[in-house]
Amino acid sequence: MTIDQAGGPVRKRGRRAHRPDPDGGPVAGFAHALLVLKETAGDPSYDRMRTEFGAVASKSALAAAARGVQLPSWETTWEFVRPLAVTVLGGDEEQTRSEWRSRWLAARQGGDGTAEPDGVPRRRGWLPAAVAVVVVAAGVVVAVSRPWSGGGEPSLPIEGDASSLVADVTYPDGSRVSVNQRFVKTWLLRNAGTVGWHGRFLQRLPPLDGLDVCHTEPRVPLPDAEPGAEVTVSVPVQARGTPGPCQVFWKMVDAGGRLYLPQSSGIYFQVEVAG
């Protein structure tokens, strides 16, 4: 059995995936580079990229990014690159992000100037015992977690710790806002586990700045909650400065930046910014 660089078996597929032509134009060349990165990291499945390495994008979006038909959005690109280049191959997160951001911008400027909407998974709750503050498609606790750059060391999973999303109180996914509009995103969360929440926060994941991202504080406090209790948490937001999709992802941390349930993908909000 072949073993990839992350220590897991490489699945043998019955049909070879479409391979974009590196000389087929900016979009195809960019997709080819993504595919080469994936192969360099041991060619893990897209499911494994999501459930084990923490990619916050749907399986179909990840697959489409490496197909070379349409340029993926930057958010999808980063969720393809980060688990492979940083988690598996051990690259520096900020340097990796800068390099791939430059590649993506070059592909966008050399292509048709558009990017597909993100295919991040729609989360209807943080799954019990398998997620921290967010939803993972598979309700399974994974022993391997990706490195965290929010400060401190990653927390170990706490037995019985779980949460669920009860409702999007304001601005459900797909809501439309104006360029540079200020609004407040609010979720209703439930402590679905047997461990009390005390001194916890939601920590924003990169990218944190730029004309094409929404702006928020990097960290917001999470109200204390005993098992079974429901709490609301709100995040003031300023919409991006250009029209387009906007997603912001969060994870649950302690005051030192250590992750709770580090194997989770992260909760997010998604709005459409109109000019």
Q: Are 88 and 5 in contact (CB under 8 A)?
A: yes
Query: What does the mean pLDDT of the chain come to?
Result: 77
Q: Is pLDDT larger for residue 142 or for residue 241?
A: 241
pLDDT at residue 20, as a whole number:
87
- Answer yes or no: is pLDDT of 194 > 70: yes
Q: Are 219 and 249 in contact (CB under 8 A)?
A: no
Burial class (CB in 10 A: 0-12, 13-18, 19+), 16: exposed
Pick the CATH number of 163-274 from 2.60.40.10, 3.40.50.2020, 1.10.10.10, 3.40.605.10: 2.60.40.10
- Answer yes or no: is pLDDT of 10 > 50: no
pLDDT at residue 61, as a whole number:
86
Q: Is 196 strand, coil or helix?
A: coil
pLDDT at residue 138, as a whole number:
26
Quick: pLDDT tens for 59-98: 888 999 999 999 998 888 988 999 899 888 888 888 898 8
Residue that the structure tokens 């897991």 belong to? 8
* Choice among 40-44, 110-114, 115-119, 211-215 with the minimum mean pLDDT: 115-119
- Answer yes or no: is pLDDT of 132 > 60: no
Q: Is pLDDT larger for residue 109 or for residue 209?
A: 109
Both tokens assigned to 237? 């937001």
pLDDT at residue 196, as a whole number:
94
Kindly list the domain boundaries of the chain, sorted by start residue.
26-110, 163-274
pLDDT at residue 222, as a whole number:
94
Q: State pTM to two decimals.
A: 0.50
Q: Are 41 and 68 in contact (CB under 8 A)?
A: no
Helix (H) or strand (E) holding 59: helix 59-65
Helix (H) or strand (E) holding 47: helix 46-51
Q: Are 44 and 87 in contact (CB under 8 A)?
A: no
Both tokens assigned to 167? 């409702």
pLDDT classification of 11: cutoffs 50, 70, 90? very low
Report how far Cα 144 is from the mean position of its chain's Cα atoms. 16
